[in-house]
Structure 1
Amino acid sequence: MKRRSFFKKGVQGAVAASIIPLSGCSSNTSGNQKKEGNPEQWQDLGSGKKGNPNRDKELHVDVLIAGGGVAGCCAAVSAARNGAKTILVQDRPVLGGNGSSEIRVHLNGVTHLKNGKAERETGVVEEILLENRFQNPQQSWHVWDHVIYDYVASTPNLKVMLNTQALQANMKGGKIESVDCLQYNTETTFKIYAQQFIDCSGDGLMAATAGALYRTGREGKAEFNEKYAPDEPDGWQMGSTIMFSTKDMGKPMPFEPPHYAIPFDAEKAAENDRKIKQFTQGYWWIEVGSENDIIAEADEIRQRLMGHLYGIWDYIKNSGKHPESENFALDWVASIPGRRESRRFMGDHILIEGDLLSYRHFEDAVGYGGWSLDEHNPGGIENLSDPPSFFHEKFTKVYEIPFGSLYSVNIPNLLFAGRNISVSHIALSSTRLQGTCATMGQAVGTAAAICIKKEISPRELRQNHINELQEQLLRDDAYIPNRPAKDSNDLAKKASMIFASSTSSGDAKLLTNGYSRDVQERDEINHWQSVSLPADVILEWEAPQNISKIEIKCDTNTLKNIMMRHTPGKKEKFIETVPPELTKSLYVEARVNGAWVKVGEVIKNRRRLIKFSFDSVRATAVKVVLTETYGVEVGRLYEVRCYA
């Protein structure tokens, strides 16, 4: 593997030299440029008018988000919910990115730790996954696309623009002023003005054209003292994978490979963990990386991947080594590879291997991860001498992701979420998982909205208002390790008494301790669970309180994963139905002038975070009554909040 020339300047020089803005791409122009051509080229027979249609438009919002993968969807929903007028542009006809029907990567996050248990992400990404359990029990990938779209596009204050590429950032005073976008299917160009910009696109074209500093390739051991980094820095990036699925047709299905199929060396492949153990749902190791410009090589890589895929299927069908495949045929083959790595933009903090393995605590923590250090080998399937991934090390608990890694070090109104954040190559091998990226997305969307309200930059937010960001994330059901909620506006924390009608586990008083899940690594219980249903919890105050909002976090069993899967998972780790622990129906009452008054009710709840808003009442107590779940015979709550 060749060393990249921009890494040859020593430890200090490597940081500067490997950070490559796109030169000559920034623009200070504004407004629509006048187009040349015959103004009467088009004759509209319907209206009788001649001329050309105006397909140049301007839009003005608070927040523009580029990239509609899971991170971008979570960022857009969070920004809009927190009061920012938001646009999400996605260059594909569906949302979901690598997790969509076009690519079909499992929406993994902290799917399992070293102890084998999950630590599933909550907040916006869990709401999407729960909606899928209700709307898509058949687990159709194409329906999944539309579940995501319905969830995101129905969010007030949010506009979704599909088939739209953010092409060029326009700068003014060192900040992004607007972005030129092209919507392919309408032949329309949009100049979108915003105050805050978030790049969740993975490759980060919008951020790169703004001149945001970034790097590609692998750091050497010396730069960050990373034991799993190569001895010397180089240009290798983890590869892209192409997936397939097959179907038993009930009769012999012959197969002839296309002309571009690349023969598969099954014997050599098997020596390093590329065995044909099943052939129904493809192989993540049909992967090709790059030591150069992986973005510019994308189409060439796609062609090579197609060749490798059909070569493998030709081996399965025609080598005689897998007679069990006789009745099977390819049912679906992806046309778009799922990419793991390209640009990594630099922030005020570069998250590195040591931060993760030492479980470093960050005062500005806003997200978390826990997937293993899963560095795929350089070259992918074209490097059969090494295993497909090194799986360097698993984590015993989750690690923290700091806000300082989620905004640009040199563009003051630019944030990131996803695989393009400020991390080293080795750290990226874990943080790139979609569930982990979702925690970043919710964090930066919320942060952008706060920046709009306060008229500050993300850096100022980190320096002076990080507590406000963390508190809002926790209120919105995100999880931040080692950071309990301390919201001084939460009246529930001021209750003089908290008690329950029955208790089989936990304690009702735990509902206000600031932790809204049980913490595995400390064997810490943070819930109250009843003996049976119906059951209730009562919070009392010595003096009447003005209350107009009650927010409740119930149970969805975060130890089990609920994402879309190609095949049924292990029962101890995955569940393919609505979590039976989820509260289905409940109501809340307030004690006003000595009498209980119902102030809210939900009959078919679909979320862990349940919110009630009502006309303000002056109450001395609040009662939460659980009446039914989706299967279990007990009720469990993790948090109750009350607000004026």
Structure 2
Amino acid sequence: MGPDLRRTTRRRILTTALFCFVARMTWDVIVWGGGTGGVAAAVQAARSGARTLLLTPGPWLGGMLSAAGVSAPDGHELSCWQTGLWGQFIRTLATSVPEGLDQNWVSCFGFRPEQAERLLQSWVRAEPLLEWWSGCRMGGIDRRGDRIQTLEVECNRQRHRLDSCIWIDGSDLGELIALAEAPFRWGWESRETWNEPSAPSADALAKDPFFSRQPVQSPTWVVMGQLTAAAPHSPATVAPAAPFADALEAFGLERTLTYGRLPGGLVMLNWPLGGNDWHHGLGRSIAPLASDRDDLDQEMQEHSLQFLEQLSRCGNGWLTCGEAFPSSRPQLALMPYWREGRRMIGQSMVSELDLLPVTNQARRSRLPATSIAVGTYANDHHYPGDDWPLAPKSCRWGGRWTGTPFCIPFEALVSSEISNLLAAEKCFSVSHIANGATRLQPLILNIGQAAGLAAALAVRSNLEPRELPVNSLQHQLIDDPHAPAAVMPIWDWPCWHPHWREAQHRVVRNPDTLRQDGSLASAQASDLSLPAAVAAPSERHGQQIQGRFCRDADGLRYWLESGSIRRQLITLEPAVERVLSGAADGTQMDLVAVHNPWGPWWRVSQLLTH
């Protein structure tokens, strides 16, 4: 990695006599937190003309994508969802990572943490209106009525008193929300509260000790292994010791390790099945005492290091300690992967009902008129024991299952009580159950982008965020010159197509024109051409392959047969899926695809002949 990368929750009313500060400084927008959404909000606010300050507690600023080591993002794989800052992020990495991003089987994107951090830091350095301070600790806050006025921070042994028009919480745990005493939720809600089908009953919450032992989703302290040149010829000869005895049972050693394989053979160990999820004393994550939070961190770190040690022992020399982070233990991520923390009470809230398809056959959820971001993840909760049963929200597409898209309304980013506070991370207004689908990196990047743009527009217009005309925010997200972002879940046009932008604008102007299958009504789309299966951008690692197309009996998986060779096919391109889903078995095809040996599949980007 480059040398540039080595390197009591209560309100207090501040008075000028109480502290001797180096300086009192004023900004348009201040973003607290080293989360993925925090850096997105800061970059977008500065790109949109606001003088912005980003404050992070650690030396890195990328949150889940880099500092927490979750460098194989889930969701938003399809090209129609690769928009906004997520799209800019993943396309830039695809062109700059020499080995490409097809590196594992949990995701279509795998990159090293420092590769993500280097890109995000380059975005920050490119913005003259953006300043970043690392190594910060929050002190007191001055809140007057429904507004945050000033914040005390300590940074590099100096104390500062900061003023801002708009404040954004970009932390995983909602730390600024708590310090400002903004109302928030934490933990489970009953089925009766929001009518969510996957939530437990009020009676179960009251009587079952599981819910008090497990108040939020389990976090993971990611640890990195390093694969040697080749896999062993035989499976593991020893089983992991307790508490990891079941870690290899479902998939075996090779599949367990290549699940989170990254470029250069680095291995992201973020394994939920008898692995390094942590389930104990999770209330300490938001405890007032730093010693309680530190104890939790230490327990999580030691647990993950033991997991790495056990897998190394089982691997017959195939797995060793990895090096990915600038610390004395470079195999350990710089921060935990918090799946859930405080969740701000906003002007509106996203519940499970907002995620689920409007009918059993539909390919989208409800369509709020104020949508500012599109999520796609299926819904995934991490607890000890058996999987928590969740209402399905997936469909068959592209040779496998994919999550159906859902929308995030702008009001879920706006505090219900503090008029100049926005949320840009998984701490936005969402239910506990819905958090399982909204907490992922791609959506959080784009939520952060929307929060940053809203903050800059509020400053420019001298309005409170809740007073902004959301229609204007939506159109500016779609037309953003750096990272145009989808705000409506339209399946037909990928982000690279010239008619993608116009389709988004039309649905914003009239949401009723978007059908339940995610396509535009014919009258609205008659003058828009659909993408051709040969027209997708070329792939640096693409190979031309030929053979006869066929599918499984259930129609889910696609295959290409050529002599004795049988290749599994997937695609992220709507035009390619349109052809493959309608093709007859035995059809001769000429394809361009990228091979992922750990999938194992070939990701088809173009159909040359069919």
Whether the 8 Å contact between 1:203 and 1:420 is mirrored in structure 2 is yes
> How many angstroms does 1:522 deviate by?
3.9
| CA 1:480–1:211: 2 relative to 1, 3 Å | same
Query: Does 2:147 match 1:169?
Result: no
Query: Does 2:322 match 1:331?
Result: yes
Query: Does 2:200 match 1:239?
Result: no
| CA 1:300–1:509: 2 relative to 1, 3 Å | closer
Structure 1 residues 277-300: Cα deviation after superposition (integer angstroms, max 9, x where no partner): 433622332111345343335433
> How many angstroms does 1:349 deviate by?
1.0
Structure 1 residues 241-290: Cα deviation after superposition (integer angstroms, max 9, x where no partner): 1223333457999xxxxxxxx9524555567x586443362233211134
Query: Does 2:438 match 1:459?
Result: no
User: What is the identity, as a one-letter code, of the residue corresponding to 2:319?
Assistant: F
> How many angstroms does 1:510 deviate by?
8.2
SS in 2 for 1:239: coil
Separation in 1, partners of 2:439, 2:145: 32
SS in 2 for 1:240: coil
Whether the 8 Å contact between 1:347 and 1:422 is mirrored in structure 2 is yes
User: What is the identity, as a one-letter code, of the residue corresponding to 1:148?
Assistant: L
> How many angstroms does 1:195 deviate by?
0.5
- Corresponding residue to 1:56 among 16, 22, 25: 22
- Corresponding residue to 1:278 among 256, 278, 294: 256
Separation in 1, partners of 2:533, 2:432: 49
Quote the residue 1:416 is aligned against. Answer: 423
Structure 1 residues 215-251: Cα deviation after superposition (integer angstroms, max 9, x where no partner): 1110011111112112234451112112233334579
| CA 1:153–1:198: 2 relative to 1, 3 Å | same
Separation in 1, partners of 2:534, 2:386: 55
Separation in 2, partners of 1:327, 1:483: 44
Whether the 8 Å contact between 1:89 and 1:166 is mirrored in structure 2 is no
SS in 1 for 2:90: helix
Quote the residue 1:190 is aligned against. Answer: 160
Name which structure has the greater RCO, CA cutoff 8 Å, separation 6+.
2
Gaps of 5+ in 2: 1-7, 100-110, 206-210, 233-239, 259-266, 324-330, 359-364, 396-403, 508-513, 536-571, 577-595
Structure 1 residues 334-388: Cα deviation after superposition (integer angstroms, max 9, x where no partner): 14321111101100112111111141221211111110121111xxxxx3x324x
User: What is the identity, as a one-letter code, of the residue corresponding to 1:415?
Assistant: L
> How many angstroms does 1:407 deviate by?
1.0
SS in 1 for 2:132: strand
Quote the residue 2:377 is aligned against. Answer: 371
Matches within 5 A, 1:370-519: 370-377=376-383, 383=384, 385-387=385-387, 392-396=391-395, 397-461=404-468, 465-476=469-480, 477-481=484-488, 512-514=502-504
More helix by share: 2
User: What is the identity, as a one-letter code, of the residue corresponding to 1:27?
Assistant: R
Whether the 8 Å contact between 2:14 and 2:140 is mirrored in structure 1 is no
Query: Does 2:138 match 1:149?
Result: no
User: What is the identity, as a one-letter code, of the residue corresponding to 1:287?
Assistant: D
Query: Does 2:283 match 1:305?
Result: no
SS in 1 for 2:54: strand
Separation in 2, partners of 1:507, 1:202: 34
TM-score (normalizing by structure 2) = 0.66
**Which structure: larger Rg?**
1
Whether the 8 Å contact between 1:412 and 1:458 is mirrored in structure 2 is yes
> How many angstroms does 1:57 deviate by?
2.4
- Corresponding residue to 1:125 among 78, 82, 86: 86
User: Would you say how many aligned residue pairs link Structure 1 and Structure 2?
Assistant: 460
Quote the residue 2:555 is aligned against. Answer: none
> How many angstroms does 1:142 deviate by?
1.9
> How many angstroms does 1:466 deviate by?
1.4
Structure 1 residues 309-356: Cα deviation after superposition (integer angstroms, max 9, x where no partner): 3443444455xxx4x523432224314321111101100112111111
Bigger mean CA offset, 300-309 vs 433-442? 300-309
> How many angstroms does 1:409 deviate by?
0.4
Separation in 2, partners of 1:432, 1:62: 27
Quote the residue 1:362 is aligned against. Answer: 368
TM-score (normalizing by structure 1) = 0.63
SS in 1 for 2:278: strand
Separation in 2, partners of 1:510, 1:118: 11
Identity among equivalent pairs (%): 24
> How many angstroms does 1:104 deviate by?
3.3
Whether the 8 Å contact between 2:531 and 2:575 is mirrored in structure 1 is no
User: What is the identity, as a one-letter code, of the residue corresponding to 1:366?
Assistant: I
More strand by share: 1
RMSD: 3.9
> How many angstroms does 1:206 deviate by?
1.6
